[in-house]
Amino acid sequence: MIKKPGQRLVLCALALLFSGFLGDNSIQAQGNRYANSSRGLRQLLSQFLEPKADTRKLTLALRPSRKDIFTYFKKDAAQIALEYYRNVWINMNRGIRPRYGQNRILIAKTTVKELRSGTGNSSLFPGGYKKIAHQLNEGFTIYRFKFVRNNSKFGMMVDGLVFVNGRWVFFPKPWRALGQ
């Protein structure tokens, strides 16, 4: 039971924050400090390798807004993705983080057009992308990366980083959002 006068407002604001409709502008602003390029993404991701990095906060900075979802996905798919990602971000516990000793970043990219045609680097991405490429708007480049140790090529792949509406956004496993 709410007993203090401002408590209801605080609870409503927290609910909106975690539902993805009210972002921490200082956190989300971090996503647009970096250029729309592999180099810009590398600069962004290098923060995750810092010894005392708050990886959860860094990950939350990549949370898509409603506008981002409707920009990236086609209209019918966007509504489905909105519900899916609302739940994903509410349940985001740890965020993206490297394992002990991982000190390098490997990046690959492909475009929506390449995913649809099976050309370029599309084969480097999970097969689910090809299944849902027709539900993504044209003109976007999708990035995946791995944190790795020294000269290794092995690490956990993270995919779904896209530059949308002037900032970096994370859409993990979009084929799951669309039921594929």
Query: 């045609």: which residue's tokens?
Result: 117
User: Which tens digits make up the pLDDT trace of 145-171?
Assistant: 999 999 889 988 999 999 999 999 999
| Tokens read off for 47 | 């923060």
What's residue 151's pLDDT?
Answer: 86
Instruction: Report whether pLDDT(44) > 60.
Output: yes
User: Which tens digits make up the pLDDT trace of 70-117?
Assistant: 999 999 999 999 999 999 998 887 789 999 999 999 999 999 999 999
What are the residue boundaries of the structural domains of the chain, listed by start? 7-177
d(CA 58, CA 68): 18
What's residue 10's pLDDT?
Answer: 36
| pTM: predicted TM-score of the whole model, two decimal places | 0.80
Q: CB–CB of 110/142 below 8 Å?
A: yes
